[in-house]
Amino acid sequence: MDWFGRARIEFTHAASPLQLPLKKGSASQARDSKTAMDLAQLCRDSTPVCQLNPLLFNGHLQTMWTAVAQAAPEIYYRRRIFDADHATYSGTFAVDFAVPPFEVLAPDPTLPQPLPPRTAFFDEASFAGIGSTDTKPMLLVLHGLSGGSYEVYLRHCLLPLLESDDEPWEIAVVNSRGCAGSSITSGVLFNARATWDIRQVVLWARETFPNRPLFGLGFSLGANILTNYVGEEGAGCPLKAAVVVGNPFDLQVSNKFLQRSFLGRSVYETVMGSNMKKLINRHREAIIKHTDLDLDRINQIKTLYEFDREVQCPTWGYPTEEAYYRDASSCDLLLDIRIPFMAIQAKDDPIAVEEAVPYGEFKQNPYTVLCMTSLGGHLSWFEPGGGRWHAKPVSRFLHNMATKVDLDAIPRDLPDHNSKQRPGVTFKPLRRKLQIDLSLE
């Protein structure tokens, strides 16, 4: 039982977690005379006591309080518009780079959409010289549904890294297409399986900053996208580690739980559907120009489920919403992750529900660790003083990975889930179908 906001914390991981080689001469190695630390222990060491506001004593109150508590660190950004380098996934998307504070000018009336607060465009000369051979850790961030770099839950996590005593981090937030004041310039929108933009930014960062260790952070829908990306890349993933927060994991299960309760249907599904409908209407001219979507039907929708029916299905060719949810879910791809990976979830999350969390997959894959709190809601975790608890394990996990672990020595060839299966029978998460080698018959 949870008393006065003190949440219980449980960790789920493989019986033999990934062994992380420590940097030679690191404080941890010198203190303990160890050359390695297992991933589960590093996650535990990164996770403090979870003391939340006792007045927000369940997931609904925690989640709904996000509409009221808008105080957050002031992060300044410079924006760059990237042209997609994939012929199929054409168009543009916006990336916001955290920078030192600058004088904020009046909004540019010529822009089709106003930029978020404390955000301005890079000038061409500054961006042309952004490349560096420094070894600073760099974090690439994905926000939640219809959000952006300005989100409160996101900024709380970034400040401790930007102000790190060891070495301040470099941070870039990849905004979903059309979000955070960005424009829609093609018929390719974002969805829960939209890994192409983060993949392009990772490859660009690898080339532009060849010596920087790259890390990933995702929230909610962005957590699902990041998990899919890391799983798709497998052992070749350019990221050194990743952490996700409030991942819905199994979109079909999460959606069914939302639809079966009054609050799920009438509050959460309706609010998310309304936000997506507003997003489409903000880009009405571009939608008419680049797509065949029926705006009249979209404006009649009330829930996110209905939005996915009217937008995601015709855009991507999914026959039903359920087919989209099954295909876009990241729960199976968890098995193919081959970098240190921490997931932070709350049992009482009313949106990324516990029933959708793939406990079994976390127990199978030694590269993954699940941190589950008994309280916290969806991307909330409000503390008594107004802080956000999840910012602590996120920033500490990333800091510990960057400062204590020999990132280049992490093995990526540990046996996977297929090693326990019958010869000739393999499960490929990316295909999500059991593959049987007929040549053995």
> Of 28, 176, 220, 254, which is the active-site residue?
220
Residues whose CB falls within 8 Å of the CB of residue 339, separated by 6 or more in sequence, listed in order: 230, 237, 239, 240, 241, 242, 367, 410, 412
> Of 13, 156, 378, 399, which is the active-site residue?
378
For the question of residue 90 being annotated catalytic, the response is no
* The two structure tokens encoding residue 167: 């070495």
Question: What domains are defined for the chain?
Answer: 6-250+329-420 (3.40.50.1820)
Kindly report the backbone phi and psi dihedral angles of residue 232, in degrees, each rounded to the nearest multiple of 5, phi listed first.
-60, -40
pLDDT in tens, 374-431: 999 999 999 998 899 999 999 999 999 999 999 999 999 998 777 777 788 888 888 7
Do residues 63 and 351 lie in contact, with contact meaning Cβ atoms separated by under 8 Å?
yes
For the question of residue 378 being annotated catalytic, the response is yes
* The two structure tokens encoding residue 78: 């410079």
DSSP, collapsed to helix, strand or coil, labels residue 82 as: strand
Residues whose CB falls within 8 Å of the CB of residue 128, separated by 6 or more in sequence, listed in order: none
In tens digits, what is the pLDDT along the chain, a chain of 441 residues? 577 899 999 999 999 999 999 998 766 555 556 799 999 999 999 999 999 999 999 999 999 999 888 889 999 999 999 999 988 889 999 999 999 999 988 887 878 889 999 999 999 999 999 999 999 999 999 999 999 999 999 999 999 999 998 889 999 999 999 999 999 999 999 999 989 999 999 999 999 999 999 999 999 999 999 999 999 999 999 999 999 999 999 999 999 999 999 999 999 999 999 999 999 999 999 999 999 999 999 999 999 999 999 999 999 999 999 999 999 999 999 999 999 999 999 999 999 999 999 999 999 999 999 999 999 999 999 999 889 999 999 999 999 999 999 999 999 999 877 777 778 888 888 877 666 666 654
For the question of residue 182 being annotated catalytic, the response is no
Nearest-CA neighbor of 218 among 157, 133, 170?
157
pTM of the model: 0.95
CA distance 49 to 64: 23
Do residues 375 and 348 lie in contact, with contact meaning Cβ atoms separated by under 8 Å?
yes
Residue type, 345: Q
> Of 46, 349, 395, 399, which is the active-site residue?
349
